[in-house]
Chain A
Amino acid sequence: MRLPRKLHAPLLSVAILAIVSAVWEGATQTSRDDGVRSEYEMLVAGADETARLPRPSEIAALGLEMLSDPVYDRGPNDKGIGLQLVYSLGRVGLGYIVAVLVAVPIGFLIGMSPLMLSAFNPFIQVLKPISPLAWMPLALFVIKDSVWSSVFVIFICSVWPILINTAFGVSSVRKDFINVSRTLELSRLRTALFVILPAAAPTILTGMRISIGIAWLVIVAAEMLVGGTGVGYFVWNEWNNLDLASVVVSILMIGVVGMGLDFLLAQAQRAVAFEDA
């Protein structure tokens, strides 16, 4: 093959997508094939026809349609997918940023002292494995607001990986680097900012990347639970309408946004990475 090596993998990806779509398309082929199905289906779905998996061509068409006008707002049950994603991203962003602002400094303090690390460890170990959704009833009771409760749930699920990684990263900074700082008579603050922070940054960013992934997983579930707005609610709503094509499009959008979030954190991770010499 004369193709540049760089193109091999992308071309293969396209081929895989084409094959999977073709097989899917063939497997879900039905006798009926009219052009105006989506409107019609919306009205009759579940009534005179058992719901069936949408075909890739339908999904693609619907996807293009939904993305052509992503941010319209026609009442509580009819908002564009883009708008719903913005709601979800807003909650994730807020909960996540607060989690970073809380977890990094606390993790730093815990990591600086072996005593604190041991003292806090049991609490972290117990709180970490709790499903974030298990906090929801408590959050709803205390906060009494569904939107803020989902923000809280995002906060609580993002906080542990960042906290643990920060504490671990700080506590395992090489003694040599601290000694360099000591021989230079740097203050504690300067040591923390200019030696420990950059040394621990890759580990902290790893925690932040894990957290954003979890947060994006959790927001969908949280919004399904509390309803109102957001992409999780949107998916649930479409399921209630038995509009599976919309569900699949939304699922793909959730995946794409999640990938974007992960990409951002991966870039940040690369920015602070260093090779140990």
Chain B
Amino acid sequence: MSSKHKFLQIEGLARRFPDAMGGEELVVFDGVDFAVDKGEFVCLIGHSGCGKSTILNIIAGLDSASEGYVFVGGREVTGPGLERGVIFQNHSLLPWKSALENVQFSVRARWPNWSRRQVREHAEKFVGMVGLSDAKHRKPSQLSGGMRQRVGIARAFAIEPKLLLMDEPFGALDALTRATIQDELIAICRATKQTVFMITHDVDEAVYLADRVLLMSNGPHARIAEAVEVPLERPRVRAEMLDDPRYHRTRSHLLQFLIDSHGGDAHAPQLKAAPTPMTAPEPASADGASFSVMTKEARR
């Protein structure tokens, strides 16, 4: 067995599904190995159906592998746990609870011995962190898609997980909202030195957020084909990044991989990346901070 120095260590992971008709098993992926360092932000990119969500669910402990091991902090994962926070693709907020109550519910599960006040104060801190203090008493149905996703983020961060797992968290959001929440996510991750494993369809998002991008080949028998370091130092500023040749090189590399591995597949991949990258913001708001402010204004 190889060394388990890394914080998240995946070894020889495989997942097979029995065929419904009793035929041959479907091997979604096999021989998947990778590792994530403490404090690292890693994105996983691949075509639809290659098994990204399955990998994330196995790491979360919600699904079990057919073969292989997952170690978090040196301990093998055998089920779900509070040290791993999950942000689900469809937010999965409890619809009968308000935004704040949703966060409190998780906080209470994490620290059962806390007083009501402690739970509330802690939850309010994180709701405030994603800018939802004014909307904290609203039910999920009364929140916009972006706001719901933020509650999901607040909920995951509030339990202070050692590892944050995100499955296409911003997939359903428009570009402006997405950019704002990405910036918020980066700020929170920097402040908490959060280790993140995130799935995305969006090449731009991966390059902007990640330290390293894992590329997954198509299934069946999908594998991690390549791990690409993003050679951009932090803090990253959107507008400056657009002028950086390293950004474009990395971005083209990822896109090229996806296009090559697509190989005339009948069902079109849901790539979020347009031929031209993010539209450059107006000169007046050329730096990341004011871009973020502008998008906040724009959402009102």
Contact = CB atoms under 8 A, between A and B. Distances in A.
Interface of A: 174, 176-177, 179-180, 182-186, 194-195, 198-199, 272, 274-277
A185 B88 contact: no
A58 to B, nearest CB: 51
Interface stretch (B138-146, B194-202, B215-223): B138-146
A122 to B, nearest CB: 25
B46 interface: no
Interface string B18-33: 0000000000000000
B60 A183 contact: yes
Contacts of B94: 177, 180, 195, 198-199
Contacts of B106: 184
Nearest to B165: A183
A274 B95 contact: yes
7 contacts: A185-B109, A194-B105, A198-B94, A274-B139, A275-B139, A276-B141, A277-B139
B113 to A, nearest CB: 15
B105 A179 contact: no
Contacts of B79: 182
B139 A179 contact: no
B21 to A, nearest CB: 20
B49 interface: no
B139 to A, nearest CB: 7
Main SS of chain B's interface residues? loop
A277 B82 contact: no
Interface in B135-171: 139-141, 143, 148, 159
B92 interface: yes
A36 B139 CA distance: 62
Interface string B90-115: 11111110000000011001100000
B67 to A, nearest CB: 22
Contacts of B15: none
Given A176-B90, A275-B141, A183 B95 contact: no
Interface in B58-102: 60-62, 79-82, 84-86, 88, 90-96
Majority SS at the chain A contact face: helix
B92 A179 contact: yes
Nearest to A179: B62
B106 to A, nearest CB: 6
Contacts of B92: 174, 176-177, 179-180
Nearest to A277: B140
A277 B138 CA distance: 12
A182 B81 CA distance: 8
A183 B148 contact: no
Contacts of A176: 88, 90, 92
Contact of B84 (A174, A177, A183, A276): A183
Contact of A183 (B62, B96, B140, B141): B62
B96 A185 contact: no
B109 A277 contact: no
Contacts of A179: 62, 80, 86, 88, 92
A274 B109 contact: no
A274 B84 contact: no
Contacts of B61: 182-183
Contacts of A198: 94, 96
A78 B143 CA distance: 60
B63 to A, nearest CB: 10
Nearest to A274: B96
Contact of B82 (A174, A177, A185): A185
A183 B105 contact: no
Given A275-B95, A277-B140, A184 B82 contact: yes
A219 B80 CA distance: 50
Nearest to B107: A184
Contacts of B110: 184
Given A183-B61, A183-B62, 9 more contacts: A174-B92, A179-B80, A183-B82, A185-B80, A185-B109, A198-B94, A198-B96, A274-B139, A275-B139
Nearest to B82: A185
Contacts of B86: 179, 183
